[in-house]
Amino acid sequence: MQAYFFDMDGVLFDSMPSHAEAWVEVMHRHNLPITYREVFINEGRTGRSVIDECYRNAFGTEAPDGLWQQIYREKGRLFESKGEPATIGGVHEVLRFLKSKGKQIWIVTGSAQQSLFSRLDTCFPGIFTRERMITAYDVEHGKPAPDPYLAAWKRSGIEKSHCAVIENAPLGVRSAKAAGLFCMAVNTGILTLDDLAREHADIVFNDMHELLTFMQVADHIETHILPLYQNFDSGHNLSHARAVMNTSLQLASALRLYAAADGDSIKGFCCPVGGTRAALLAYTIAAYHDIGLSVDREHHHLNSGKMLRADRQLRHWFTDDEIELMACAAEDHRASAKQPPRTIFGAIVADADRDLNVTTVIRRALQYGIDRYPELSDDEHCRRAADHLQDKYSASGYMHLWLNDPQQTLQQQQLQLLISNPTELLKTTQQVMTSLKH
Ligand code: CA
């Protein structure tokens, strides 16, 4: 990651309790009931849209001009009267870490609260600049629309896949995901992790210390582990590793591992480590799962496990038991394995490794053949790839899905439908072959 987009309220400043108290008090004054939790759920919306919605609930129409401005001014004054909010615990360490790594650090907020902007320099000296700030004044449509994060991304000049968002609010997560960005959600308020995961946050944390650990592990992976994939064949390259890392996080979230306790059984697999820690493990396993290819192909899964165990850097962040658990999961990822994975983590990396998109599967099979058997003709390559698909992915093939994720199951069915029609399969393979040559 090269650029980090930080939300402000609830991420930098512990300002949400004061905001919530001010909203509840002012709205009550105007006979527009709103609860403390509703303020947290609505966090990220503009003041006007919060007022409009409450007004609509009470009177069936939007708040008249004049009134909403008055309510918003009252709320702003009341917020100020509650004193300066503290910064969120652990966020200084996160910012210092990113600064030391030379990353771009941005603020992306729906706020128009001048008092907080002017405190940024005092509280976070040398971190933020006005040029790297998107506020209520910069975009017409605020969160949950994607506009604020899209604006930051465009100005950053960094590729989307190298940008990440740090959010604390469900609507902020929705905005980040609608903008197509990787989103890390830190639950700094009164909501549940579910409230954030439901909006498809890529990973959820209980606090900034967990976020910092994730960033440190991710930095180690980016710097020392992912470059290994540059030397592998095109079916096991960097984009394959990144896809497995992303799918592993999606599966961990869909399985609600963040809500699991250590030792729970999930889909018949033991989950020795649950909670937010589980996603960190799934992510790390995915990053290491194929590095054994740097030794050989036949035993690469075992060598990936060995190399993970031997990486002393991991001892900064993981216990011996966690390292052993991750190494075993990497060993269990092999599609041709006869035994089921030993833990949920093995099942996650095994399933995440199965990219079942029809075109991708055929392309990978063709590329493997082209790398391995350069003497074959195009036609022979197509037949070899079609045979391989038959062996591996047909209803009687050797590939299993362990977790039956609905999206993956659907893709598997589409693939099997194609495989069950040999003429159609060969035709599709030839089409992919043609596209590879252009
Ligand atoms: Ca926020």
Say yes or no: 249 and 331 in one domain: yes
pLDDT at res. 308: 98
Q: How far is the CA of 277 from the centre of ligand 1 (A)?
A: 23
pLDDT at res. 34: 94
Q: How far is the CA of 149 from the centre of ligand 1 (A)?
A: 13
C-beta of residue 376 within 8 angstroms of C-beta of residue 369: yes
Q: Would residue 59 count as lying in a domain?
A: yes
Say yes or no: 346 and 365 in one domain: no
- What CA–CA distance (Å, rounded) separates 290 from 229? 8
Q: Would residue 104 count as lying in a domain?
A: yes
pLDDT in tens, 200-231: 999 999 999 999 999 999 999 999 999 999 98
Which residues are within 8 A (CB) of 48 and not within 5 positions of it... i.e. 6 or more apart? 63, 68, 72
Q: How far is the CA of 7 from the centre of ligand 1 (A)?
A: 5
Say yes or no: 122 and 37 in one domain: no
Q: How far is the CA of 8 from the centre of ligand 1 (A)?
A: 6
Q: Would residue 424 count as lying in a domain?
A: yes
Can you give the CATH number for the domain in which 64 is found? 1.10.150.240
Say yes or no: 254 and 325 in one domain: yes
Say yes or no: 246 and 303 in one domain: yes
- State how many domains the chain has: 4
Q: How far is the CA of 179 from the centre of ligand 1 (A)?
A: 17
Q: How far is the CA of 107 from the centre of ligand 1 (A)?
A: 11
Say yes or no: 46 and 185 in one domain: no
| pTM for this predicted structure | 0.91
What is the sign, positive or negative, of the torsion defined by CA atoms of 86, 87, 90, 93? negative
Q: How far is the CA of 141 from the centre of ligand 1 (A)?
A: 16
Say yes or no: 205 and 262 in one domain: no
Q: How far is the CA of 147 from the centre of ligand 1 (A)?
A: 16
pLDDT at res. 337: 72
Q: Would residue 286 count as lying in a domain?
A: yes
Q: To 5 degrees, how large is the angle CA 219–CA 221–CA 225?
A: 140
Can you give the CATH number for the domain in which 122 is found? 3.40.50.1000
Amino acid symbol at 72: Y
Q: Would residue 236 count as lying in a domain?
A: yes
Say yes or no: 267 and 400 in one domain: no
Q: How far is the CA of 12 from the centre of ligand 1 (A)?
A: 8
Paired tokens of 125: 């000296």
Query: 406 lies in which domain range?
Result: 358-437
Q: How far is the CA of 254 from the centre of ligand 1 (A)?
A: 24
Q: In angstroms, what CA-CA distances link 303 with 163, 338, 374?
A: 32, 18, 27
Burial of 111 by CB count in 10 Å (0-12 exposed, 13-18 middle, 19+ buried)?
buried
For 188, phi and psi rounded to 5 degrees? -95, 0
Q: Would residue 102 count as lying in a domain?
A: yes
Burial of 401 by CB count in 10 Å (0-12 exposed, 13-18 middle, 19+ buried)?
middle
Q: Would residue 385 count as lying in a domain?
A: yes
C-beta of residue 333 within 8 angstroms of C-beta of residue 346: yes
Q: How far is the CA of 91 from the centre of ligand 1 (A)?
A: 13
Element housing 214 (H / E): helix 208-220
Can you give the CATH number for the domain in which 268 is found? 1.10.3210.10
Q: How far is the CA of 181 from the centre of ligand 1 (A)?
A: 16
Q: How far is the CA of 65 from the centre of ligand 1 (A)?
A: 27
Domain end: 290, 319, 352, which one?
Answer: 352
Which residues are within 8 A (CB) of 116 and not within 5 positions of it... i.e. 6 or more apart? 8, 9, 13, 15, 85
C-beta of residue 251 within 8 angstroms of C-beta of residue 405: yes
Say yes or no: 27 and 120 in one domain: no
Say yes or no: 209 and 90 in one domain: yes
C-beta of residue 108 within 8 angstroms of C-beta of residue 149: yes
Q: How far is the CA of 414 from the centre of ligand 1 (A)?
A: 41
- What CA–CA distance (Å, rounded) separates 36 from 166? 23
pLDDT at res. 236: 87
pLDDT at res. 112: 74
pLDDT at res. 347: 97
Q: How far is the CA of 81 from the centre of ligand 1 (A)?
A: 20
Low-confidence ranges of the chain (pLDDT < 70): none
Domain end: 301, 336, 352, which one?
Answer: 352
Strands 269-271 and 264-266: antiparallel
- What CA–CA distance (Å, rounded) separates 167 from 96? 18
For 383, phi and psi rounded to 5 degrees? -65, -40
Q: How far is the CA of 131 from the centre of ligand 1 (A)?
A: 20
The strand ranges marked E within 191-231 are: 203-205
pLDDT in tens, 321-348: 999 999 999 999 987 777 899 999 999 9
Say yes or no: 99 and 192 in one domain: yes
pLDDT at res. 218: 97
Q: Would residue 153 count as lying in a domain?
A: yes
Element housing 114 (H / E): helix 114-123
Domain end: 295, 320, 352, which one?
Answer: 352
Residue among 40, 36, 48, 158 nearest 104 (CA):
158
Q: How far is the CA of 169 from the centre of ligand 1 (A)?
A: 5
Say yes or no: 291 and 374 in one domain: no
Residue 52: how many other CB atoms lie within 10 Å: 16
